[in-house]
Structure 1
Amino acid sequence: MALFGRLLHAAALELERDIDRLTRLLPSRGDGRVRMLAYAGYRNATELRVSGRIVRFADALDPDEGFVARVRAMLAIYNSRELAGVTVRLEHDGRSDDVVSDEEGYFNFAIPIEEALPFTARWDAVTLTTPHHEMQTPSVEVPVLAPGTDDHWGVISDIDDTVIETGATNFLKNWRRVLVERPQDRLVVPGAASLYAMIARDHRAPTRPFFYVSSSPWNLYGFLADFMERNAIPHGPMFLKDIGIDATKFINTGHADHKIEAIRKILAFYPDHQFLLMGDNGQKDVEVYAAVVRDHRDRVGAVLIRDVSGSCKSGPNAEHLAGITTVGVPVYCAESFVEAHAVLESLGFERPAEAARAGEGS
């Protein structure tokens, strides 16, 4: 079976490369401009990380034109052409660094720096350009999170059914929402806005760092960022999923593997921070967070779970939550986050007036 899997992977990889070579020879479906999709970055005192993707989209469609237009607009997000071999330049603090996009169009910067973290959390900025490409992308200013040294709390949060209502446990409902609903059509999870505001103090400029770990594909980054902005969810770097095929992966890794790897990366990057883990029990969050607590007990301040499957008190999820509680990490698990403020208050978080007002709309 392992041999069959390797052969299937090799065949699929070669097929995708053939398709990519063919599409590069075809006339452009869009306006001919290369689009740089840059994702919010983050840094500590010794390293700065920024990533993104080089693609060419089809012409933009107006999703307000009706049902069919909405479906076509969402499909266009997924149906992008990736551009490999494009040089991307990052300029910051008087220096510049170059990387080249890979066969899936992705680029990643991990730049050594010597720059102390600020006392209060802030967003720095870097500039990205594609200096040597014949269809030059305009420069893009990318926000980079710099957590403050005045507070050592941070948040690692899921997105689907934790922040945004998706119905991820219902296949048909989830895909209807993915294909039809715009960011302004989607609903925020009850209690999420006020709870996250309580932690952040200011959703536009959080005084505590937020990181979002999700199995949603990178194609949805812009959609998710738009939704968070509209619903007063704190800004933060996202760790989404690459669902393509390359020499190291076949389609994608599982939900748990992707999330555990991303969380471990965050914990290693910020060794002085303690994190709240926030998610739901519709897929693998509870299992993932239990594994993180086992390996990093002293780094997790609390686990807050939204119950979308009725498994808080029975089954494997209940066993995982009991294990988390046994080692002394507080656990909250209920149908919404409306009553979760008490857990945070027990940890010393204060509920400011801004959080109370945000809660009125959640």
Structure 2
Amino acid sequence: MLPDTPFFRLFHRAVAEAEERIDAVRARRRSPTQKLRILTYAGYRNETEARLSGRIVEYRQPLDPGTGTFSRLRAMLAIYESDEVPGVRIAAEGYGGHFETRTDGEGYFTFRIPLSGRALPARTGWEEVTLSLPDRESDQRRVTAPVLAPGREMRLGIISDIDDTVVETGATNFLKNWRRVLLHRPADRLAVPGASKLYRMLVVDHDAPRRPVFYVSSSPWNLHGFITEFMELNDIPHGPMFLRDYGIGRDMFIAGAHDDHKLQAIERILAFYPDFRFLLIGDNGQQDVAIYAAVVRDFPRNVAGVFIRDVAGTCRTGATGDHLAGIEAAGVPVYCGAGFNDALELVDEVGFGPDQEAARAASLQSG
């Protein structure tokens, strides 16, 4: 957590003002004919609202990462150094309506589309919204954005971390983590042992998902495309992502607190789907266990199970052991192990097996 002192507040304000001046200079120098790019992030909906977000950036030819260390470093830094475009009008067409908004100071946009009691499909699937820039030229005239519609028959879902839960990052080792972040391409990264098989068993695949999956991570939005490519290469099902904006502003310095972001994102998902039960998947390298314990405490009826990948060797010791014991005491099944191969046997126990799924669907239909 960053310090809250008079000196730091003064420093923060000075840096934020400098960032605003730099952005203003960039805006003045930007040509009105500058081609833009719409970055879309997977959206999601319930019966009353569809939520969709993305970002508008200047279009640039992607750099070839090549094979050399310098080329890879340059290509990755180009991902982080995005030229966002504020104040751009963007239109969305879908769900029988036309909607418009503008990008914020960091180039992000958000749509909250009212649906007026539009029922969820019987089975989980993807729907579409079309995005366009009415006033500007983009690299594509119209872009299709996917929206996840969870199935009403099962009302079961997955909320998952990414770093050291799906992809090996070494997040607990600062130097190892940043070497991987800066130099490794998606094809170079390794999936956590058993992760691909577990997620395919739970979700099946991206095009025909059995259950909705939501990813909550402290990784920056700049890595959205990188993470998506990694998932495609490793047969990890896609889903809406809740990432963080790393930047400098009057209400933020680099990024907010790790645990605050994750807890708030999970609480938003649970509040959006109050009749669903979720399997929480994470690791014990950072704060996932403490966060999941808080979620179980506040939403005990919405958590079907907790699966933890043990990267610290502390499954049953210290604070991790205490939190997991508390989760189990609340009646929520827990798995904690070095990988997820052994967790496959517990899928039935947490109610995500085919027999339990059929029984739950029958009870929901009869009720």
TM-score range, shorter chain: over 0.9
1:280-295 to 2 correspondences below 5 Å: 280-295=283-298
| Whole-Å separation in 1 of the counterparts to 2:282 and 2:193 | 13
Residue 98 of structure 1 aligns to which amino acid in structure 2? E
| Whole-Å separation in 2 of the counterparts to 1:85 and 1:135 | 15
Describe the SS at the equivalent of 1:123: strand
Cα 1:75/1:58, change in 2 over 3 Å: farther
Residue 43 (structure 1) aligns with:
45
1:46-61 to 2 correspondences below 5 Å: 46-56=48-58, 58-61=60-63
| Whole-Å separation in 1 of the counterparts to 2:98 and 2:206 | 31
Cα 1:66/1:260, change in 2 over 3 Å: same
Q: From 132, 140, 143, give the equivalent of 1:140.
A: 143
Is contact 2:38–2:138 with CA below 8 Å preserved after alignment?
no
| Whole-Å separation in 2 of the counterparts to 1:103 and 1:170 | 33
Residue 20 (structure 2) aligns with:
17
Q: From 295, 318, 341, give the equivalent of 1:338.
A: 341
Residue 357 (structure 1) aligns with:
none
Tell me the percent identity: 55
Residue 235 (structure 1) aligns with:
238
**1:169-201 C-alpha deviation (Å, 9 max, x unpaired):** 111111111111111111111001111111113
Residue 122 of structure 2 aligns to which amino acid in structure 1? F
| Whole-Å separation in 2 of the counterparts to 1:43 and 1:350 | 25
Give the drift of 1:94: 3.5
Describe the SS at the equivalent of 1:75: helix
| Whole-Å separation in 2 of the counterparts to 1:300 and 1:348 | 11
Cα RMSD for the two superposed structures = 1.8
Cα 1:69/1:136, change in 2 over 3 Å: closer
Is contact 1:204–1:232 with CA below 8 Å preserved after alignment?
no
Give the drift of 1:35: 1.2
Residue 34 (structure 1) aligns with:
36
Give the drift of 1:247: 3.2
Is contact 2:36–2:137 with CA below 8 Å preserved after alignment?
no
| Whole-Å separation in 2 of the counterparts to 1:351 and 1:77 | 41
Residue 182 (structure 2) aligns with:
179
Describe the SS at the equivalent of 1:236: coil
Is contact 1:57–1:76 with CA below 8 Å preserved after alignment?
no
Is contact 2:204–2:237 with CA below 8 Å preserved after alignment?
no
Give the drift of 1:320: 1.0
Q: From 198, 202, 212, give the equivalent of 1:199.
A: 202
Q: TM-score, normalised by structure 1?
A: 0.92
Give the drift of 1:57: 5.1
**1:45-77 C-alpha deviation (Å, 9 max, x unpaired):** 100100011112543211135322111111000
Residue 110 (structure 1) aligns with:
112
Q: From 207, 215, 240, give the equivalent of 2:218.
A: 215
Q: Does 1:161 align with 2:138?
A: no
Describe the SS at the equivalent of 1:127: strand
| Whole-Å separation in 1 of the counterparts to 2:71 and 2:183 | 9
Describe the SS at the equivalent of 1:82: coil
Q: From 255, 273, 277, give the equivalent of 2:276.
A: 273
Give the drift of 1:204: 3.3
Give the drift of 1:112: 0.9
Is contact 2:95–2:115 with CA below 8 Å preserved after alignment?
no
Is contact 1:52–1:108 with CA below 8 Å preserved after alignment?
yes
**1:82-116 C-alpha deviation (Å, 9 max, x unpaired):** 11100111110342111100111111111111221
Describe the SS at the equivalent of 1:347: coil
Give the drift of 1:333: 0.5
**1:101-139 C-alpha deviation (Å, 9 max, x unpaired):** 011111111111122110111100001111112557531
Cα 1:348/1:294, change in 2 over 3 Å: closer
Cα 1:3/1:318, change in 2 over 3 Å: same
Describe the SS at the equivalent of 2:252: coil
Is contact 1:125–1:144 with CA below 8 Å preserved after alignment?
yes
Residue 36 of structure 1 aligns to which amino acid in structure 2? I
Q: Does 1:74 align with 2:80?
A: no
Is contact 1:244–1:250 with CA below 8 Å preserved after alignment?
yes
| Whole-Å separation in 2 of the counterparts to 1:50 and 1:298 | 27
Residue 358 (structure 2) aligns with:
none
Residue 329 (structure 2) aligns with:
326
| Whole-Å separation in 1 of the counterparts to 2:315 and 2:235 | 28
Q: TM-score, normalised by structure 2?
A: 0.91
Residue 363 (structure 2) aligns with:
none
Describe the SS at the equivalent of 1:163: coil
Q: Does 1:306 align with 2:309?
A: yes
Residue 202 of structure 2 aligns to which amino acid in structure 1? I
| Whole-Å separation in 2 of the counterparts to 1:159 and 1:134 | 34
Describe the SS at the equivalent of 2:282: strand
Is contact 1:243–1:252 with CA below 8 Å preserved after alignment?
yes
